[in-house]
């Protein structure tokens, strides 16, 4: 987990049409290895960022670098490093599972056919089935298997579990976690997946990136983020919103609740009662704060 | 890419070959009979220049029996629309519609290779099938063409250069429509409408002018109309010309006919021709001789091939703009 960051975005922006910016001023560094969760409301720019990260979109401004080099998807070498599963995990519906594996093998220089067969066999998907006859969960598993069999260094998944039922979600994420754990050092796999269901990410992700209205609001290792933030409860005070480090505040009749980001290993004033924060709470606080910004600013 | 392209388009390819076989079986059976009759009835000898008296009647009888079927080949001009609508239009539209383009371009194949492989392999297959159709249709028509020339629409549109080029054009049109609209059904409709418009325009307004037609004027009293012209010529225009060399318009011709027929309930047969002769007017015919056939084929093929290449470039640009 050292060396060049797997992905480095600087000043990245994408504009659709004349003035709609889907993403703007995005500076982001993702460390190698592990699973990165990308969260944000619908329309926050998650898909745009993911598509830019693997060269499916060309940035309007800024740049994307992988291992310190510009992303080259016009070359087979650049393509071999990335894996992608698009939203709703599209497959050629008239292909059988065996056809899809053949497709993967014939369009990639490196393709772990045996591993892919084993994985599908392990989850009970037979090769003769036609893709269109499989359940959504099975199709997602096939799309993931195809992407993993390329042995990419960066695997990008756009809302992979949004359309799956809870059981299929669990299976899908388990496959993913196993794949990351099974990747060997020096050839390690980094996964970036987007979701608007935070509870899922908490279980599988090591790293979190929070997008809001086309900008990165928060990024870091989940453990660090949780350690840095505290929920403080104390007597009601109405001037909290303007204080440094206060992310969100809510007021009862006598008490005020606020989420703060502590600058370091400092303790808050003793009149405040300090509690740890959950990931979901943290994400919602940042998203809510984003909404209110024009009023408070 | 070879395997993927084959796997994605094998249903279309097999359907095309089944269609070809469905056309070939009746055409081979009737064609063999036609060729046999052409030889045995003596018509072939007449056309070759021998045969002597009674040839006109023989040839007429032969044409009487077979021209109607032969003329149905004009419908072949719409056959390429199938390639455009069912193979060209979905080529990229379906990938965009189902999102599978994301799957395709994130494998190890570069976008440029993906694009060019799809266009060239599928386009090549389509042109190949068109070539087989052309051979079949042209062979069937050979006796009729030896009598009537290859310039007439039914013969011209089934010739290999024209049919293959037009088929590639129709395919390219579909590819472009699909890349532009990114939806299969609208792309199919747009392809069909554009193709039919272009095809009819070509037949009606373009092909007669590939070259300046030859012109022949004939004396009305000794040589009435176009009847004595070689049967292999393709007449594109005919009418009356006055002594100053002016070609009479339809309105002028109608006025003149009114003048000639004025007050006569039972006019004599040669009334019009006599009138024309005494007023210094003659018949004229503008035509393209059968010897222009290959020039015309080359022009038409070049025209459609050039357009097809431009459409492919446009489609590739559109797809690349969408997926970087």
Q: What string of H, E and C letters represents the secondary structure of B213-272?
A: CEEEEECCCCCCCCCCCCCCCEEEEEEEECCCCCECCHHHHHHHHHHHHCCCCCCCCCHH
Cβ proximity of B238 and B226 under 8 Å: yes
pLDDT band for A111, please (50, 70, 90 cuts): very high
Cβ pair B107, A104 in contact under 8 A:
yes
Query: Which range has the top average pLDDT, A259-263, B60-64, B83-87?
Result: B83-87
pLDDT of residue A108: 94
**pLDDT number for residue A242:** 63
DSSP conformational letter for A161: T
Q: Could you tell me the pLDDT band of residue A213, with boundaries at 50, 70 and 90?
A: confident
Report the pLDDT value the prediction gives residue B305, as an integer from 0 to 100: 97
Could you state, in order of their start, the residue ranges of all structural domains in chain A? 7-213, 224-292
- A236-240, B150-154, B166-170: the lowest-pLDDT one: A236-240
Is the pLDDT at A2 greater than 70, yes or no?
Answer: no
Which pLDDT score is estimated for B177?
Answer: 98
Residue-level pLDDT at A293? 42
pLDDT of residue A75: 86
pLDDT band, residue B225 (cuts 50/70/90): very low
| B-chain residues near A76 (CB < 8 A) | 108-110
- Closest partner residue to A74 (CB to CB) among B4, B8, B110 is B110
How far apart are the C-alpha atoms of B169 and A78, rounded to whole Å?
35
Higher pLDDT, A237 or A127: A127
Helices (H), chain A: 46-53, 76-80, 97-106, 113-122, 136-149, 166-182, 198-204, 222-228, 279-296
Average pLDDT over all residues of chain B: 90
Residue of B274 and A64 predicted with greater confidence: A64
Q: Taking 60 as the threshold, does the pLDDT of residue A186 lie above it?
A: yes
Give the range among A190-199, B25-34, B195-204 with minimum mean pLDDT.
Answer: A190-199
B117 pLDDT exceeds 80? yes
- With pLDDT > 90 as the criterion, what percentage of chain B qualifies? 62
CB contact under 8 A, A75 and B110: yes
Q: Which of B120, B159, B122 is nearest to B138 (CA)?
A: B159
Q: Is B295 helix (H, G, I), strand (E, B) or coil?
A: helix
Q: Are B157 and B136 in contact (CB under 8 A)?
A: no
- Backbone dihedral angles phi then psi of residue A208, each to the nearest 5 degrees: -130, 135
Confidence band of A127 (pLDDT split at 50, 70, 90): very high
Closest CA to B177 of B315, B275, B82: B315
CA B225 – CA B227 distance, rounded (Å): 6
Residues B98, A89: Cα–Cα separation, whole Å: 10
Task: Out of A58, A91, A106, name the one closest to residue B4 (CB).
Answer: A106
Q: Which of B2, B103, B106 sits opposite A54 (nearest CB)?
A: B106
Q: What is the pLDDT of residues A240-274, one digit of tens each?
A: 666 677 888 888 888 888 888 877 666 667 778 88
Chain A residues within 8 angstroms (CB to CB) of chain B: 54-58, 73-76, 79-80, 82-84, 86-88, 90-95, 99, 102-104, 106-110, 143, 146-147, 150
B15 CA to chain A: closest CA distance, Å?
Answer: 16
Give B8's contacts in chain A (Cβ within 8 Å): 92
- Mean pLDDT across the stretch B242-249? 85
- Give the pLDDT of residue B227: 52
Compute chain B's Rg from CA coordinates.
Answer: 25
What pLDDT was estimated at residue A292? 47
Establish how many alpha carbons lie within 13 A of residue B315's alpha carbon, considering only the half-sphere containing its beta carbon: 30
Angstrom distance (rounded) from CA B89 to CA B190: 9
Q: Is the dihedral of CA A41, A44, A45, A49 positive or negative?
A: negative
CB atoms within 10 A of CB A171: 17
Q: What residues form DSSP beta bridges with A23?
A: A14
Is the pLDDT assigned to residue B30 strictly greater than 50?
Answer: yes
Hey, of B5, B108, B320, which one would you mutate to test binding to chain A, going by the most A CBs within 10 A of its CB? Answer: B108
Helix (H, G, I), strand (E, B) or coil at A212: strand
> Residue A98's closest chain B neighbor by CA?
B7
* CA distance linking residue B281 with residue B245, whole number of Å: 9
Average pLDDT for B108-122 = 94
Cross-chain Cβ contact A76/B112 below 8 Å: no
The answer to whether B189 and B102 are in contact (CB under 8 A) is: no
Residues linked to residue A208 through DSSP beta bridges, in sequence order: A37, A220
Residues of chain B neighbouring A147 (CB-CB closer than 8 A): 106
* A290 pLDDT more than 70: no
Q: How far does the CA of residue A43 sit from the closest CA of chain B (Å)?
A: 19
Q: Which CATH number describes the domain made up of A7-213?
A: 3.40.50.300
Q: How far apart are CA A141 and CA A97, in angstroms?
A: 11
Mean pLDDT over B19-46 rounds to 93
Q: Is B287 helix (H, G, I), strand (E, B) or coil?
A: strand
Q: Which residues of B touch A54 (CB under 8 A)?
A: 106
**B91 with B178: CB under 8 angstroms?**
yes
User: CA-to-CA distance for B242 and B277, rounded, in angstroms?
Assistant: 10
Chain mean pLDDT for chain A: 86
Residue B146 pLDDT exceeds 70: yes
Compute the distance between CA of residue B152 and CA of residue B147 in angstroms, rounded to an integer: 11
pLDDT number for residue B278: 84
| Interchain proximity B324–A58, CB inside 8 Å | yes
- Name chain B contacts of A84, Cβ cutoff 8 Å: 102, 106
Is the pLDDT at A221 greater than 60? The verdict is yes
For residue A246, report the phi and psi dihedrals to the nearest 5 degrees: -90, 120
User: Between chain A and chain B, how many beta carbons pairs sit less than 8 Å apart?
Assistant: 75
pLDDT value for A76: 86
């Amino acid at each position: 987990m050292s060396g060049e960051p797997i992905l480095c975005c600087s000043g990245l922006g994408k504009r659709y049409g004349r003035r709609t910016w889907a993403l703007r001023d995005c500076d982001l560094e993702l460390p190698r290895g592990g699973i990165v969760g990308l969260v944000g409301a619908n329309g926050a720019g998650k898909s745009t960022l993911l598509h830019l990260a693997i060269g499916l979109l060309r940035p309007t401004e800024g740049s994307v670098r992988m291992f310190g080099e510009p992303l080259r998807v016009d070359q087979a070498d650049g393509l071999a490093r990335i894996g992608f599963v698009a939203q709703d995990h599209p497959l050629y519906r008239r292909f059988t599972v065996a056809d899809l594996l053949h497709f993967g093998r014939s369009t990639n220089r490196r393709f772990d056919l045996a591993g892919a067969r084993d994985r599908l066999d392990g989850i009970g998907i037979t090769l003769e089935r036609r893709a269109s006859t499989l359940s959504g969960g099975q199709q997602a598993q096939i799309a993931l298997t195809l992407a993993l069999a390329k042995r990419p260094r960066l695997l990008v998944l756009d809302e992979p579990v949004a359309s799956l039922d809870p059981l299929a979600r669990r299976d899908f994420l388990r496959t993913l976690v196993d794949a990351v754990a099974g990747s060997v050092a020096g050839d390690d796999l980094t996964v970036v997946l987007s979701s608007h269901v935070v509870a899922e990410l908490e279980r599988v992700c090591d790293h979190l990136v929070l997008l809001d209205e086309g900008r990165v609001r928060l990024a870091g290792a989940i453990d660090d983020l949780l350690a840095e933030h505290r929920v403080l409860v104390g007597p009601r005070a109405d001037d909290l919103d303007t204080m440094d480090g206060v992310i969100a505040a809510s007021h009862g009749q006598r008490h005020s609740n606020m989420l703060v980001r502590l600058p370091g290993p400092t303790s808050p004033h003793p009149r405040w009662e300090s509690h740890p924060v959950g990931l979901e709470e943290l994400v919602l606080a940042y998203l809510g704060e984003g909404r209110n910004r024009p009023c408070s600013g | 890419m070879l395997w993927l392209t084959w796997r994605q388009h094998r249903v279309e390819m097999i359907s095309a070959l089944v269609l070809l076989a469905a056309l070939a079986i009746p055409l081979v059976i009737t064609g063999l009979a036609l060729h046999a009759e052409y030889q045995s009835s003596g018509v072939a000898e007449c056309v070759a220049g021998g045969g002597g008296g009674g040839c006109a009647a023989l040839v007429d009888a032969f044409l009487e029996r077979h021209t109607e079927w032969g003329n149905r080949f004009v419908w072949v001009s719409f056959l390429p629309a199938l390639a455009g609508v069912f193979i060209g239009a979905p080529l990229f539209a379906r990938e965009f519609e189902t999102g599978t383009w994301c799957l395709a371009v994130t494998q190890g194949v570069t976008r440029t290779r993906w694009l060019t492989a799809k266009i060239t392999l599928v386009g090549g297959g389509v042109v190949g099938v068109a070539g087989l159709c052309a051979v079949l249709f042209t062979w069937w028509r050979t006796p009729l063409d030896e009598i009537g020339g290859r310039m007439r629409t039914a013969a011209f549109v089934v010739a290999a250069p024209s049919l293959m080029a037009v088929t590639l054009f129709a395919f390219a049109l579909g590819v472009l429509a699909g890349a532009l609209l990114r939806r299969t059904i609208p792309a199919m409709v747009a392809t069909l409408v554009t193709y039919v418009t272009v095809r009819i325009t070509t037949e009606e307004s373009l092909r007669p002018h590939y070259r300046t037609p030859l012109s022949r004027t004939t004396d009305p009293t000794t040589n009435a109309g176009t009847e004595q012209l070689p049967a292999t010529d393709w007449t594109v225009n005919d009418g009356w010309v006055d002594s100053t060399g002016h070609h009479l318009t339809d309105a002028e011709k109608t006025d003149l006919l009114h003048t000639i027929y004025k007050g006569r309930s039972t006019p004599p047969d040669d009334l019009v021709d006599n009138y024309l002769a005494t007023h210094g007017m003659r018949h004229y015919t503008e035509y393209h001789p059968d010897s222009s056939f290959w020039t015309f084929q080359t022009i038409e093929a070049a025209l459609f091939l050039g357009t097809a290449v431009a459409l492919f470039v446009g489609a590739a640009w559109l797809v690349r703009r969408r997926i970087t």
